[in-house]
């Protein structure tokens, strides 16, 4: 993408002391609900009032949004509070209606990003617009698909662009609704440092009590802002109740966040160091998680060996693994000595697990 500096102009124009915050209900439910949320947020650090107007649901029969009438509620909220407005669009008809109602920010959802046809349709409908357009990461961890969406929009002369990291779907049971896979966002950030990067901790966590921690990690990784779902009565929300917070809770989260400000060379150095250390922390957590999964497989092997009265230690298999891993390590700049030490430790832990199972 050429003229990458243009991508950041809309963000810099806010001249915020606080990172950009986009907040509001997962779904617009009633006019009263939208207006009450807007008024409770108008004097905070929130810049954009978000609300889902059309809700793509996995299965039919669930609440799919109030439709175009909700855009009028957003218009009125902007008139009364001065908050800019934002909503998700998934096709040309949505775009046309959003522009007709002067929505300031449009985003393309994760389910839409997976389809180049849908993204192209939206790009064509928005061609040359001066609205801010954000692209959520696709449901599955595919950086090329995510970048492809941005490139299609940029080719349509849309320059106020950014991305939203909302995590990725997984069949594995984890503490997250959508696993962050922070390294993918970090890679995108390194390739396109001028592309504003927003974190959606609501969809990453799926739980309101985790939003502060994930938001802080995002800011420590040098994200530019947050999109947080906010509802006046979260427990009775018509969609995604568990991940929404009250306006008061959101304001407290924004107060509790540690914001790093660059003031001089030393501060810039410390900020960069914090970002790199946070990347290390993220990777370390992934290592521990991966090792835990490996030991679970070792346990399954232990149960299988016990059922067939097979010895725990299989030297041939161990030597094959070690040889492969030494070669893999060399390709990634890891010394043979380090790989040997690491895998001997992993192997010993696996043996310990299996021996415990055999003896039980």
DSSP letters of 215-245? Answer: HHHHHHTT--EEEEEB-SSGGG-SS-GGG-B
In a shared domain, residues 79 and 51: yes
In a shared domain, residues 208 and 280: no
Q: Contact, 308 vs 322, CB < 8 A?
A: no
Overall average pLDDT of the 201-228 stretch: 96
Closest Cα partner for 80 from 37, 45, 26?
37
Quote the mean pLDDT of the chain.
Answer: 91
**Domain extent for 54:** 5-259
Q: Is the pLDDT of residue 291 over 70?
A: yes
Q: Is the pLDDT of residue 313 over 90?
A: no
Q: What is the DSSP string of 319-337?
A: HHHHHHHHHHHHHTT--HH
In a shared domain, residues 95 and 195: yes
The span from the CA of 203 to the CA of 166, in Å, is: 6
The span from the CA of 71 to the CA of 74, in Å, is: 5
In a shared domain, residues 128 and 238: yes
In a shared domain, residues 56 and 90: yes
Residues sharing a CB contact under 8 Å with residue 305, sequence separation 6 or more, in sequence order: 311, 312, 354, 358
Identify any residues that bridge with 108 across adjacent strands, giving them in sequence order.
89, 135
What pLDDT is attached to residue 117?
A: 97
Q: What is the CATH number of the domain that holds 343?
A: 1.20.59.10
In a shared domain, residues 51 and 177: yes
In a shared domain, residues 69 and 121: yes
Q: Contact, 45 vs 21, CB < 8 A?
A: yes
In a shared domain, residues 96 and 212: yes
Cα 207 to Cα 185, 244, 274: the distances in Å are 21, 8, 26
Q: Contact, 197 vs 188, CB < 8 A?
A: yes
Closest Cα partner for 218 from 160, 259, 172?
259
Give the total number of structural domains in the chain.
Answer: 2
In a shared domain, residues 200 and 272: no
CB atoms within 10 A of CB 129: 18
In a shared domain, residues 234 and 299: no
Q: What is the CATH number of the domain that holds 225?
A: 3.20.20.70
Overall average pLDDT of the 302-316 stretch: 86
Q: What is the DSSP string of 137-177?
A: PPSS--HHHHHHHHHHHHHTT--SEEEEE--B--SS--SSS
Overall average pLDDT of the 235-258 stretch: 96
Overall average pLDDT of the 232-249 stretch: 96
Lowest mean pLDDT among 9-18, 103-112, 302-311, 313-322: 9-18
Q: Is the pLDDT of residue 16 over 70?
A: no
The gap from C-alpha 275 to its chain's centroid, in whole angstroms, comes to 17
Overall average pLDDT of the 11-16 stretch: 61
Q: Contact, 226 vs 45, CB < 8 A?
A: no
Overall average pLDDT of the 113-120 stretch: 97
What pLDDT is attached to residue 262?
A: 61
Q: Where is 136: in which H helix or E strand? A: strand 132-136
In a shared domain, residues 284 and 183: no
Q: Which of 259, 294, 322 is the last residue of a domain?
A: 259
Q: Rounded to 5 degrees, what are φ and ψ at 333?
A: 80, 20
The span from the CA of 260 to the CA of 249, in Å, is: 21
DSSP H stretches of helix in the chain:
5-12, 31-41, 69-81, 92-100, 110-113, 116-126, 143-155, 182-191, 201-205, 211-220, 247-256, 265-308, 315-331, 336-359
Q: Rounded to 5 degrees, what are φ and ψ at 4?
A: -60, -25
Largest CA distance in the chain: 75
Closest Cα partner for 163 from 178, 148, 179?
148
The span from the CA of 4 to the CA of 116, in Å, is: 22
In a shared domain, residues 208 and 283: no
Indicate the pairing of strand 20-24 with strand 132-136.
Answer: unpaired
Overall average pLDDT of the 145-168 stretch: 95
Q: Which of 203, 226, 259 is the last residue of a domain?
A: 259
Tell me what percent of the residues of the chain surpass a pLDDT of 90.
71
What pLDDT is attached to residue 327?
A: 92
What's the pTM value of the predicted model, to 2 decimals? 0.83
Q: Which of 259, 291, 312 is the last residue of a domain?
A: 259
Give the chain's radius of gyration (CA, Å): 24
């Amino acid at each position: 993408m050429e003229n990458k500096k243009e991508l950041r102009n809309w963000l810099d124009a806010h001249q915020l002391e606080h990172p950009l915050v986009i907040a509001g209900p997962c779904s617009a439910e009633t006019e009263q609900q939208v207006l009450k949320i807007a008024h409770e947020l108008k004097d905070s650090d929130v810049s954009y009032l978000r609300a889902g107007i059309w809700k793509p649901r996995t299965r039919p029969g669930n609440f799919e949004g109030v439709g175009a009438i909700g855009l009028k509620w957003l218009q009125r909220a902007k008139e009364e509070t001065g908050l800019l407005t934002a909503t998700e669009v998934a096709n040309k008809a949505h775009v046309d209606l959003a522009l007709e109602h002067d929505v300031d920010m449009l985003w393309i959802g994760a389910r839409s990003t997976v389809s180049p046809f849908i993204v192209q349709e939206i790009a064509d409908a928005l061609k040359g617009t001066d609205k801010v357009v954000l692209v959520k990461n696709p449901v599955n961890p595919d950086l090329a698909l995510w970048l492809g969406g941005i490139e299609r929009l940029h080719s349509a002369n849309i320059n106020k662009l950014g991305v939203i990291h909302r995590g990725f779907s997984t069949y594995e049971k984890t503490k997250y609704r959508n696993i962050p896979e922070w390294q993918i966002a970090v890679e995108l950030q390194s390739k396109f440092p001028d592309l504003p990067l927003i974190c959606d901790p609501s969809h990453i966590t799926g739980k309101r009590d985790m939003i502060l921690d994930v938001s802080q990690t995002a800011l420590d990784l040098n994200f530019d802002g947050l999109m947080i779902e906010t509802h006046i009565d979260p427990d009775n929300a018509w969609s995604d109740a568990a991940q929404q917070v009250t306006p008061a809770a959101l304001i407290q989260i924004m107060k509790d966040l540690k914001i790093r400000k660059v003031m001089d060379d030393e501060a810039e150095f410390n900020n960069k160091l914090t970002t790199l250390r946070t990347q290390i922390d993220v990777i370390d957590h992934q290592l521990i998680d991966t090792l835990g999964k490996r030991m679970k497989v070792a346990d399954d092997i232990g149960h299988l060996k016990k059922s067939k009265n097979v010895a725990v230690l299989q030297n041939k298999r161990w030597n094959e693994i070690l040889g492969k891993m030494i070669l893999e390590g060399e390709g990634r700049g890891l010394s043979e000595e380090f790989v040997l030490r690491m895998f001997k430790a992993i192997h010993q832990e696996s043996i310990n697990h299996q021996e415990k199972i055999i003896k039980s």
